[in-house]
Chains A and B, each alone.
Chain A
Amino acid sequence: MDDLLSEFLTETNENIGIVDAALVALEQNPDDYSQIDNIFRLVHTIKGTCGFLGLPRLEAVAHAGENVLGKIRDRELKVTPDVVTIILEAMDIIKDVLDALEQTEQEPEGDDSDLIDRLNDVAYGTQSAAPAAPATPEPQMPEISSGGSDGPVSLEELEAAFQAAEGPDDMVATPAVTEAAPEQEESGLRPGEVSLEELEAAFQAAPGPDDIAEEAAAPAPAVPEVVAAKPAEPAASGGKAAQGEAGHKESSLANQSIRVNVELLENLMTMVSELVLTRNQLLQMVRGMDDNEFTVPLQRLSHVTTELQEGLMKTRMQPIGNAWSKLPRIVRDLSHELHKKIDLVMHGAETELDRQVLELIKDPLTHMVRNSADHGLEMPEDRLAAGKRETGRIILDAYHEGGHIIITITDDGRGLNVDRIKKKVIENGLANEAELENMNPQQIQNFIMRPGFSTAEKVTNVSGRGVGMDVVRSNIEKIGGTIELKSEEGKGSTFTIKIPLTLAIVSALIVECCEERFAIPQISVVELVRASTDGRADNKIEMINDSPVLRLRDRLLPLVHLNEILKLETSADEVAEQSDVKGSEDFIIVTQVGAYTFGIVVDRVFDTEEIVVKPVAPILRDLSIFSGNTILGDGSVIMILDPNGIAAKSGEAVVGDHTVEEETQRESGDSDSVALLICRAGGVEPKAVPLSLVARLEEVDVDTIETTNGQMVVQYRGKIMPLATVNDRCKIIEKGRQPILVFSENDRTMGLVVDEIVDIVDDRLNVEMASNIEGMIGSAVIRGKATDIIDVGYYLQKCFGDWFGSGEAGGYGSGRSQQRVLLVDDSPFFQNMLVPLLSVAGYEVSTAENPLKALELRERGESFDVIISDIEMPGMDGFQFAEEVLKDERWSDTPIVALSSHTTPQDFDRGRKVGFSDYVAKFDRDALMNTLSQTLRSGGGVK
């Protein structure tokens, strides 16, 4: 049988069971609206899935049922026994059809229009049509005899007939019946109702048609209708023996799999672990003795134990691909139904996760993919009009990260329309306009995950009934996960689901450091490198200002010593001489966290082992360096290292992006993305300089390079331009053309000689390691590589230093006494970048790393002509700082220029309001210089 179909059958049978029970509960307690929501969702799911599988009959019944439930949910319809009965009837029809489906893999022929009409009557029309009783036996008769395939329907009616006839139910429910269909106990039928299966079973239990007649004769006197219906039955059961057996085989499919309490598995797991331990002990004992009578049975035991362990682990783990397997079909059908072209891309289908977790996220995932297809992606013509590929893409991605499983669902569709969501939010009364005013777009977008919200403009067969993201969210939160939404209108949306991995089994690398063993999840290990400090191995650990690095092929890999991170020291050797004493050989585990790659230095590497991650004791929870602990095969406890924690501990900001997220990453406005020019100069490692600081890129003929006064110069645009090399290792080539970066400052220009201009990239500039090499500000991870950032100011000063000394500096400051500038910025990078620039421009610069420090300067009686302040700073931000400055008269006249990477009009307005004189984007050097001179000329002059 088709996997899809069999899954559908199992799932739907389960769901119907739940609906049955819930309906009965609802009937007893009609005001319990949580029940109705639940029922509605389940029926909605059944309907939806039927649609995809091409089961029109089921879909029609479920749809009609859903309509009624929808009315109840919207409180337009009261819950009465009649209403419940008719819905139950619909459920029974669905059950029958499912049974037939299971046997024939085909939806049986049949006409449910009567039931659907009645359902629709209840939903839309007069409520009078509800009771099942009108279905009198007479009209059924011809229907029943008309054909075997009509069996289920007519039986259904039979049931109705039974139900209509009150009284002799007890007699019908003979012992045979209850035994034959014990499942029915759970089906939640009302007392007095007899389900189809019971009926069938009862008939089947009766040896032959004659007996049936006899047996049936007992209740007959009281129920003439039943007797009337009876003759039809032998025809049905006799004509179709298989059909008669359906009662028994009802869930033959369901019988292939059983549900086991996870706790039971958990206990078994523990037992098996103990078994493994005992086995290991035995093995240890026998190992000492040669040839022993125990050897063979022990080996056998060992085998069986291992298999048992593996088998048990398998019971709980499933690749996420299982939950995805039906998605391609669903997407295919959707694309037909919606007339859209859709590509479904799935990454990481082999990522294993706990079965229970998988079960719980299956529906949400399916739902989200449907949503993406239905709401997210545009029609092909709209896509073409928007300049996109005609075929929309939905990308599913799953991977392990730091003890979690991350699943992302990305579409490149229209994204979420904030205005429309706002409108809807107000319409649905979820929030008022004033509240929305104060929310950022992401908060507003997150409204789609509130109950009762649906953005689809029309209710389609696929989605849009308001059962949606709220269910998804609640299901995910139920298992302790989170869901995050990022969307940009016109570009698409990304949902990121993060699910904890507490139960998951991971393959881990066992390493040793200072005689302690640790496990590192294999998933974050990229490769293993053997290195030495004395050059005996191919790879050598080198030091940059006490930071160990490794040249790994074309890049420089930052290293962390595990013993330092864990503050472990072998008693014998000092940290300082450690490298000499034991460090002839080290293993480096190249680890990747997001886009950041680094090496962990350990003493030894053992094997990989499959481990079950167990959470650490609560008192150790705040140790972010461990993601859990586990028991190894040999029975010892081992701590599992969290590469995320190590990265954080080693002072590296973790860049949490991922290949598929690359686009969204760049879209998210909070990362200061900067255009950087990447070049090579004096070494293989890349160097970078903010592109905005570079005036031009030139190539000069090396023959034109001259030397005056020990300084390399070149004639450039009619002037002499001094040249500087990045460091001594950087040599001018002997022949040909040499690339140079030209930096321009007022009318002075200088060239920085580089070996090669590599690329221009947009990336976050996050200086992570300060450098004390002259000419370098520090290192940052750019495009996943450690890159040195060139300190342009240094070279400017190097070339023009003398000019300042002789007091001939031109520029803004000339002709007056030097103007004093206070630069308030928490980033050493900007301090280092701007101070030289400002000094070169003739300002006298003081710096403060935060507003509080700046205010301290005020207390000390310092005064400045202008203050340049960053906006985003820890503690007190730039706006608060500006307010503080204006409050006190000592500095209230000092103009403040704001410096920020965010220059939205709102920011600008806010800045103006709190008293900033001007607002300049970071890296816009010219603008800063102009603003400074203008501010000083106007503000400084007047005040």
Chain B
Amino acid sequence: MSDNDVQEYVTVTIAGQMFGIPVLQVHDVLGSLKLTNIPLAPPEVAGALNLRGRIVTCIDVRKRLGLPPADDNDSGMSVVVEHHGEPYSLLIDSVGEVLSLTADKLEQNPGTMDQRWREVSSGIYRTENELLVILQIERLLDFAVSSTAAA
């Protein structure tokens, strides 16, 4: 990868941590929408919602990352991404900005990071104030792999 290989990331905050999602993968940012509960679904699945006639499966990123549930579910914001042609919305606390970052600044996940985090993160950026954890959508949505990896 060349040094000028610039990637743009949408930053989102979950439980005080800043995460980056490649901007090209983000289809939509949603405010609070009515969620339909899906019984018997994996715990990471928060439900389903209707996005302009499409049924979007909603993922509770906190659960996926092993974070405690939010104190109050007032935000309800989510970022819609697409994976294998299926839309998924990722529940987040808030959306930040779009950052352009060069690939050479991407640092490896520290080995001490939680296994669940290492699985879904492709690396870390050091921004001025905070650390930015880059999320890999494919891995984030692949529960099957995570359960085997955890086992």
Which chain A residues have a beta carbon within 8 Å of chain B's beta carbons? 269-271, 273-274, 277, 516-517, 566-568, 614, 616-620, 623, 625-626, 629-631, 635-639
Q: Closest B-chain residue to A516, C-beta based?
A: B37
Q: How far is the CA of A637 from the CA of B88 in the complex (A)?
A: 14
Given contacts A631-B55, A637-B50, contact A566 B39 (CB under 8 A): yes
Which 9 A-B residue pairings sit nearest by Cβ, starting from the closest? A566-B39, A273-B53, A617-B57, A637-B36, A270-B53, A637-B48, A631-B50, A637-B50, A274-B53
Please list 25 pairs of residues, one from A and one from B, whose beta carbons are closer than 8 Å in the complex, sorted by A's number.
A273-B53, A277-B50, A516-B37, A517-B36, A566-B39, A566-B40, A567-B39, A617-B48, A617-B55, A617-B57, A619-B42, A619-B141, A620-B45, A620-B57, A623-B40, A629-B36, A629-B48, A631-B53, A635-B50, A636-B36, A637-B47, A637-B48, A638-B36, A639-B36, A639-B39
In the bound complex, residues from chain B placing their C-beta under 8 Å from that of A516 are 36-37, 39
Q: How far is the CA of A516 from the CA of B57 in the complex (A)?
A: 17
Given contacts A270-B53, A619-B57, A629-B48, contact A639 B38 (CB under 8 A): yes
In the bound complex, residues from chain A placing their C-beta under 8 Å from that of B57 are 616-617, 619-620
* B 112-147 to A, binary, CB cutoff 8 A, 1 in contact else 0: 000000000000000000000000000001010000
**Max count, chain B CB within 10 A of own CB: residue among A568, A619, A630:** A619
* B74 contacts chain A at the CB level, 8 A cutoff: no
* B 40-63 to A, binary, CB cutoff 8 A, 1 in contact else 0: 111001011110111101000000
**Max count, chain A CB within 10 A of own CB: residue among B40, B41, B49, B54:** B40
Chain B stretch 11-38: residues in CB contact (< 8 A) with chain A: 34, 36-38
Given contacts A274-B52, A618-B84, contact A636 B34 (CB under 8 A): yes
In the bound complex, residues from chain A placing their C-beta under 8 Å from that of B143 are 619
In the bound complex, residues from chain A placing their C-beta under 8 Å from that of B49 are 637
* B86 contacts chain A at the CB level, 8 A cutoff: yes
| Contact of B41 (CB < 8 Å), options: A269, A620, A631, A635 | A620
Q: How far is the CA of A637 from the CA of B50 in the complex (A)?
A: 6
B120, chain A: closest CB distance, angstroms: 15
Q: How far is the CA of A617 from the CA of B45 in the complex (A)?
A: 11
In the bound complex, residues from chain A placing their C-beta under 8 Å from that of B39 are 516, 566-568, 625, 639
Q: How far is the CA of A567 from the CA of B57 in the complex (A)?
A: 20
A502, chain B: closest CB distance, angstroms: 13
Q: Closest B-chain residue to A635, C-beta based?
A: B50
9 further interface pairs, Cβ-Cβ under 8 Å (given A618-B86, A637-B48): A270-B54, A568-B39, A617-B55, A625-B40, A629-B55, A631-B53, A635-B34, A635-B50, A637-B50
Q: Closest A-chain residue to B40, C-beta based?
A: A623
**Max count, chain A CB within 10 A of own CB: residue among B36, B49, B143:** B36
Q: Closest B-chain residue to A517, C-beta based?
A: B36
Q: Closest A-chain residue to B34, C-beta based?
A: A636
Q: How far is the CA of A269 from the CA of B54 in the complex (A)?
A: 11
A696, chain B: closest CB distance, angstroms: 51
Q: Closest B-chain residue to A624, C-beta based?
A: B40
B35, chain A: closest CB distance, angstroms: 8
Which chain B residues have a beta carbon within 8 Å of chain A's beta carbons? 34, 36-42, 45, 47-50, 52-55, 57, 84, 86, 88, 141, 143
A265, chain B: closest CB distance, angstroms: 14
Q: Is the CB of B48 within 8 A of A623?
A: no
Q: How far is the CA of A567 from the CA of B50 in the complex (A)?
A: 24
Q: Closest B-chain residue to A638, C-beta based?
A: B36
Q: How far is the CA of A626 from the CA of B53 in the complex (A)?
A: 19
A542, chain B: closest CB distance, angstroms: 27
Q: Is the CB of A619 within 8 A of B38?
A: no
Q: How far is the CA of A900 from the CA of B47 in the complex (A)?
A: 48
A78, chain B: closest CB distance, angstroms: 46
Q: Is the CB of B141 within 8 A of A567?
A: no
Given contacts A636-B34, A637-B48, contact A623 B53 (CB under 8 A): no
B65, chain A: closest CB distance, angstroms: 17
Q: Closest A-chain residue to B83, C-beta based?
A: A618
Q: Is the CB of A637 within 8 A of B55?
A: yes
Q: Is the CB of A277 within 8 A of B53?
A: yes
Q: How far is the CA of A637 from the CA of B86 in the complex (A)?
A: 16
Q: How far is the CA of A617 from the CA of B88 in the complex (A)?
A: 9
Q: How far is the CA of A419 from the CA of B2 in the complex (A)?
A: 70
Q: Closest A-chain residue to B36, C-beta based?
A: A637
In the bound complex, residues from chain B placing their C-beta under 8 Å from that of A637 are 36, 47-50, 55
In the bound complex, residues from chain B placing their C-beta under 8 Å from that of A636 are 34, 36, 50
In the bound complex, residues from chain B placing their C-beta under 8 Å from that of A567 are 39-40
In the bound complex, residues from chain A placing their C-beta under 8 Å from that of B50 are 277, 631, 635-637
| Contact of B38 (CB < 8 Å), options: A273, A618, A620 | A620
In the bound complex, residues from chain B placing their C-beta under 8 Å from that of A277 are 50, 53
Q: How far is the CA of A866 from the CA of B48 in the complex (A)?
A: 59
**Max count, chain B CB within 10 A of own CB: residue among A517, A617, A630, A636:** A617
In the bound complex, residues from chain B placing their C-beta under 8 Å from that of A630 are 55
Q: Is the CB of B41 within 8 A of A270?
A: no
Q: How far is the CA of A23 from the CA of B42 in the complex (A)?
A: 54
A382, chain B: closest CB distance, angstroms: 55
Q: How far is the CA of A127 from the CA of B49 in the complex (A)?
A: 68
B89, chain A: closest CB distance, angstroms: 11
Q: How far is the CA of A189 from the CA of B82 in the complex (A)?
A: 45
In the bound complex, residues from chain A placing their C-beta under 8 Å from that of B48 are 617, 629, 637, 639
B139, chain A: closest CB distance, angstroms: 13
In the bound complex, residues from chain A placing their C-beta under 8 Å from that of B41 are 620, 623
Q: How far is the CA of A886 from the CA of B125 in the complex (A)?
A: 68
Q: Closest B-chain residue to A272, C-beta based?
A: B53
Q: Closest A-chain residue to B57, C-beta based?
A: A617
Q: Is the CB of B45 within 8 A of A619?
A: yes
Q: Closest B-chain residue to A620, C-beta based?
A: B41
Q: How far is the CA of A573 from the CA of B45 in the complex (A)?
A: 25
Q: How far is the CA of A614 from the CA of B48 in the complex (A)?
A: 12
Q: How far is the CA of A631 from the CA of B34 in the complex (A)?
A: 12
In the bound complex, residues from chain B placing their C-beta under 8 Å from that of A638 are 36
In the bound complex, residues from chain A placing their C-beta under 8 Å from that of B55 are 614, 617, 629-631, 637
B86, chain A: closest CB distance, angstroms: 5
B11, chain A: closest CB distance, angstroms: 25
In the bound complex, residues from chain B placing their C-beta under 8 Å from that of A566 are 39-40
Q: How far is the CA of A517 from the CA of B34 in the complex (A)?
A: 13
**Max count, chain B CB within 10 A of own CB: residue among A277, A516, A631:** A631
Q: Closest A-chain residue to B143, C-beta based?
A: A619
In the bound complex, residues from chain B placing their C-beta under 8 Å from that of A631 are 50, 53, 55
Q: Closest A-chain residue to B87, C-beta based?
A: A617
Q: How far is the CA of A89 from the CA of B38 in the complex (A)?
A: 61
In the bound complex, residues from chain A placing their C-beta under 8 Å from that of B38 are 620, 623, 626, 639
Q: Closest B-chain residue to A645, C-beta based?
A: B40
In the bound complex, residues from chain A placing their C-beta under 8 Å from that of B53 are 269-271, 273-274, 277, 631
A459, chain B: closest CB distance, angstroms: 47
In the bound complex, residues from chain A placing their C-beta under 8 Å from that of B36 are 516-517, 629, 636-639
**Max count, chain A CB within 10 A of own CB: residue among B50, B52, B57, B88:** B50
In the bound complex, residues from chain B placing their C-beta under 8 Å from that of A618 are 84, 86
A919, chain B: closest CB distance, angstroms: 45
In the bound complex, residues from chain A placing their C-beta under 8 Å from that of B37 are 516
Q: How far is the CA of A637 from the CA of B51 in the complex (A)?
A: 10
In the bound complex, residues from chain B placing their C-beta under 8 Å from that of A639 are 36, 38-39, 48
Q: How far is the CA of A639 from the CA of B42 in the complex (A)?
A: 15
Q: How far is the CA of A625 from the CA of B41 in the complex (A)?
A: 10
In the bound complex, residues from chain B placing their C-beta under 8 Å from that of A625 are 39-40
A642, chain B: closest CB distance, angstroms: 12
Q: How far is the CA of A276 from the CA of B79 in the complex (A)?
A: 25
Q: Is the CB of A270 within 8 A of B88?
A: no
In the bound complex, residues from chain A placing their C-beta under 8 Å from that of B141 are 619
B90, chain A: closest CB distance, angstroms: 13
B147, chain A: closest CB distance, angstroms: 12
**Max count, chain A CB within 10 A of own CB: residue among B41, B49, B141, B143:** B41
B28, chain A: closest CB distance, angstroms: 14
Q: How far is the CA of A392 from the CA of B86 in the complex (A)?
A: 50
Q: How far is the CA of A274 from the CA of B34 in the complex (A)?
A: 16
A519, chain B: closest CB distance, angstroms: 11
A610, chain B: closest CB distance, angstroms: 16
